[in-house]
Amino acid sequence: MNQTIECRKLAKAFQGDGVKTNVLKNINLVLEDGEFISFIGPSGSGKSTLLSLLGTLDDPTSGELLHGGEPVNRLNSRQLADFRFQNIGFIFQQFHLIPTLTALENIMAPLFGRKVSYNKKQRALELLEMVGLPEKANALPSQLSGGQQQRVAIARALVHQPKWLLADEPTGNLDSETGEIIYQLLHALNREKGCGVLFVTHDPQLADRADRKIEMCDGEIVADSQVIHHA
């Protein structure tokens, strides 16, 4: 099935204390199946807001968002929840693991209350193995390093086999060595599993390692280019 994401004149504004702030302005964008894309720009440029709109975590003020040619911002909250479960995985800078659950339980969390055709625990164990933490199944988040927590968060984002992985500053809270491990994991998911990856970063060197780089400033896309990688 076609998983292209398309934005048509997408805009987002926030109202506060009588002041309207236009965070995103007239975004027109097409993201093709299986792309590996970075979003870069200064703080306040709208990168994270756009990622939230693309993943349907937030609603645009105006414009239209399409996934696979179908408009999704017309869906009700229940339909959107089902849509996200079938299509989108999220990775956040702050990890957002549930502190009272083990690593294994955190990975299984998106499946709670869902009927699926596979064994939930087995799927979670396989993902824990994939991110290199099989021995941490029963560890609580407080017993894990930042890098280990991020790897658990990646496994959690993948447990429902999304078509797109959306990562907001996935290496932002990590040291350079751990950040490289996380980057390599995202890259492998894209290359080996065909999962589309969109990641927000402040790091120009990291942004340049994507296949496509989208630069933002003041709520607008100011550059959109294919990145040439030299062997």
Question: Among 91, 93, 129, which Cα is nearest to 110's?
Answer: 91
Residue 176 in domain: yes
d(CA 68, CA 36): 17
CB 144 within 8 A of CB 152: yes
CB 176 within 8 A of CB 184: no
Cα distances from 64 to residues 2, 10, 35, in angstroms, run 18, 6, 21
- Residue 170's pLDDT is 86
Residue 184 in domain: yes
pLDDT in tens, the chain (231 residues): 577 999 999 999 988 877 888 899 999 999 998 999 999 998 889 999 999 999 998 999 999 999 988 899 788 888 988 888 889 999 887 888 999 999 999 999 988 888 888 889 999 999 999 899 999 999 999 999 988 998 999 999 989 889 999 999 888 878 888 888 889 989 998 998 889 999 999 889 999 999 999 999 999 999 999 887 654
CB 140 within 8 A of CB 132: no
Helices 120-130, 146-158: crossing angle, 10 deg rounding? 130
Residue 45 backbone dihedrals phi, psi, to 5 degrees: -80, -10
Range of the domain at 133: 34-56+75-226
Question: Cα 146 to the chain's mean position, in Å?
Answer: 18
- What CATH number does the domain containing 141 carry? 3.40.50.300
- Residue 229's pLDDT is 65
Residue 159 in domain: yes
- Residue 10's pLDDT is 95
Residue 141 in domain: yes
d(CA 7, CA 34): 17
- Residue 230's pLDDT is 54
Residue that the structure tokens 């658990």 belong to: 152
User: Would you say the pTM of this structure is higher than 0.85?
Assistant: yes
Residue that the structure tokens 């027109």 belong to: 28
Cα distances from 135 to residues 20, 96, 106, 129, 197, in angstroms, run 50, 21, 15, 9, 27
Residue 195 in domain: yes
Residue 169 in domain: yes
Total structural domains in the chain? 1
